Amino acid sequence: MDDQNPLAMTHLAQLQQLRENNPFPEAGGEDSAILRELASIERPLLQTLLQECSYAASDVLFREGDPGNAMYIILAGQVVVIKGSFDAPTVLGYRGPGEIIGEMALLENAPRSASVIAMENLRLLRVNHEDFQVLLNNRPGIGRKIMAVLSARLRNTGNALDSSTQTRRQLTQQVSQLHTEKEHLLEMQRVRQETSDLIVHDLRNPLGVLYAVLDVLKMVLPEDVLNANQELLNIAEDARDRMKRLIDSMLDVARMEGGATALNIKPTDLNRLIEQIAKFSQLNTQRRQVTLRIAIPQPLPLILLDEAKIERVLANLTDNALKYTPQGGEIYISAILEASQVQVSVTDTGPGIPEGERQRIFERFAQVQGDHAARRRGFGLGLAFCKLAIEAHGGTIWVEPGPGEIGSRFTFTLPLNSA
């Protein structure tokens, strides 16, 4: 173990008491991207990189200020992350199975920014800084991917802080300008905050654990067991990804409606995005016996856009098409250039949408009632997110009947900026 001086049990009892009185939200599953990159490494190389270790309850894994010489993946047990003295600590959070601690040690051997203590007996996988540097030299491609994930985490943290600051500033201005409606605004803020808490605490946290546990299973299960159960894992991962898109859409809709839209614009290959969505949908199309075709008459140029948001727009539209296309039906994803913009369409052969509902379905929780209960179309927040995301890019989105008045065709445009 890294530290041979276990935390006094009285101090551990103090931390447990702090947690009972002031529960702190669990992590949200961002660790899974790092785990996926590690899981992609060949098993012989992975075995040399990962070292299993254990700690007893109240042991200190590392202290604030210690050298950042290793990252840890938690297999079993729970830790607490604190700052300050052990006598009067500030609790930053708790980490459990499938989560990562000390990941910035992979980038640099800098002093630890917090202390980590075992709340119960632990089993961990350790990745040493030196071993990771060897991996970088031997497999620069994997190293670059993991570095990109870590960089994205730092950028997302900064964006979240900026967004939070902007939201607070806007609310303060509104209360000042609309003093007579102060109580109404405070009530609206309370409801909005409670809704966000429900999403983050009650939905995103267990989903984050599911992400991490599935990735850890792929790393530690015997290869023959993994191969024999690959279809089950694929189904679980598909359901997990769809749930994550729904939760992310709920959060993004709330942010964008509040004026806190932050786009990560960069040159993007839209051809690749469309092909990637078709590949990810392959399992569902086969299961539902639906044919999915791509029609891009000419290669599209690189376009300046937020890749993650446009990928989710395509995924939402394709998911809707799959959900309502009957067995033996077809889905078409097409993209054409039109003057100074690109036009992308997702067409299905489902029940279609009445003309009077074609604007309303882009509102929050809008639903369309068909001729029969079985034809009831519920779009939740998916299309509301699509509309806000496309408009944030300067484009438009609409729905119309498919060819021959069969099914629906959802179409959106994006400005054709020179990348």
Helix (H, G, I), strand (E, B) or coil at 380: strand
pLDDT of residue 400: 95
Q: Are 47 and 126 in the same domain?
A: yes
Q: Is residue 151 included in any domain, yes or no?
A: no
Q: Are 135 and 230 in the same domain?
A: no
Q: Is residue 18 included in any domain, yes or no?
A: yes
Q: Is residue 146 included in any domain, yes or no?
A: no
Q: Which of 124-128, 140-144, 359-363, 410-414 has the least mean pLDDT?
A: 140-144
pLDDT of residue 369: 53
| pLDDT tens digits, one per residue of 221-249 | 888 888 888 888 877 887 787 777 777 76
Tokens of 327: 């067995």
d(CA 313, CA 335): 14
Count of beta carbons in the 10 Å neighbourhood of residue 211? 24
Q: Is residue 152 included in any domain, yes or no?
A: no
What are the backbone angles phi and psi of residue 127, rounded to the nearest 5°?
Answer: -120, 110
| Residue whose structure tokens are 């007996």 | 121
Tokens of 161: 């802080």
- Per-residue pLDDT band for 8 (boundaries 50, 70, 90) equals very low
d(CA 302, CA 322): 28
Higher local confidence (pLDDT), 20 or 38: 38
For residue 29, the domain's CATH number is: 2.60.120.10
Of 232, 257, 282, the residue at which a domain comes to its end is 257
Q: Are 121 and 16 in the same domain?
A: yes
Q: Are 314 and 212 in the same domain?
A: no
Domain around 249:
157-257
Q: Are 251 and 123 in the same domain?
A: no
pLDDT of residue 53: 95
Tokens of 369: 């009632």
For residue 368, the domain's CATH number is: 3.30.565.10
Q: Residue type at 272?
A: R
Q: Is residue 17 included in any domain, yes or no?
A: yes
Q: Are 185 and 130 in the same domain?
A: no
Q: Are 316 and 352 in the same domain?
A: yes
Q: Is residue 147 included in any domain, yes or no?
A: no
Q: Are 274 and 411 in the same domain?
A: yes
Of 257, 282, 316, the residue at which a domain comes to its end is 257
pLDDT at 9 over 60: no
Average pLDDT over residues 358-369: 71
| pLDDT tens digits, one per residue of 400-418 | 999 999 999 999 999 987 4
| Domains in the chain, number | 3
| pLDDT tens digits, one per residue of 50-99 | 899 999 998 999 999 998 889 899 999 999 999 888 887 888 888 888 88
| pLDDT tens digits, one per residue of 85-110 | 888 788 888 888 888 888 877 777 78
d(CA 34, CA 101): 12
pLDDT of residue 139: 76
Q: Is residue 174 included in any domain, yes or no?
A: yes
pLDDT at 282 over 90: no
Pairing of strands 291-295, 330-338: parallel
Q: Are 272 and 200 in the same domain?
A: no
Q: Are 181 and 129 in the same domain?
A: no
Q: Are 16 and 120 in the same domain?
A: yes
d(CA 112, CA 105): 8
Of 257, 276, 304, the residue at which a domain comes to its end is 257
Q: Residue type at 228?
A: A
Q: DSSP for 4-34, please give it.
A: SSPPPHHHHHHHHHHHHHS--PPP-STTHHH
Q: Which of 32-41, 115-124, 293-302 has the least mean pLDDT?
A: 32-41
pTM above 0.85, yes or no: no
pLDDT at 298 over 90: no
Q: Are 287 and 410 in the same domain?
A: yes
Average pLDDT over residues 356-372: 68
Q: Is residue 181 included in any domain, yes or no?
A: yes
Q: 74-108 burial by CB neighbour count: b if 16+ within 10 A, else e?
A: bbebbbbbbeeebeebebbbbbbbbbbbbbebbbe
Tokens of 36: 């996926």
